[in-house]
Amino acid sequence: MILEYKTLELYDKMLFETVILKPPYNKSNPMRNEACFLYVIEGEYDSISETEKLTVQTDESVLMKCGNYLSSMPKAKNSDNYKAVAVHFHPDVLIKIYENKLPSFLKQKNTSAIGMC
């Protein structure tokens, strides 16, 4: 059950989101054209991609590339709630932010496979 959910948008795209919820909780998490940095403040997060499963514990983080993920927040042994903050990286937002001086890594096409880093 979601107890609190907040988002902050920039250029009509979600940039930040925070959530506090009561586990267990599952949801699909498609990121077709974005990357996401997730920091788990409290609880446990399981991210399941096409090729692997990754568990992120309290005070840990993960940077995920574009793809389709299943998100699972199981009941953790040492916490009743799940709390996390996420930062989303949309290519078109980054281009607008760096409009006058675009970093070289944003100019290159990435051809690597979908998955977690």
Is residue 113 in some structural domain? Answer: no
Number of folded domains in the chain? 1
Q: What is the pTM of this model?
A: 0.80
Is residue 116 in some structural domain? Answer: no
Is residue 115 in some structural domain? Answer: no
Q: In the beta sheet, which residues pair with residue 37?
A: 63, 87
**Amino acid 101: pLDDT:** 79
**Amino acid 112: pLDDT:** 57
Is residue 112 in some structural domain? Answer: no
Confidence tier at 117 by pLDDT (50, 70, 90): very low
Residue burial 85-94, b: 16+ Cβ < 10 Å; e: rest = ebbbbbeebb
Write out pLDDT tens, residues 9-66. Answer: 999 999 999 999 999 999 987 777 888 999 999 999 999 888 889 999 999 999 988 7
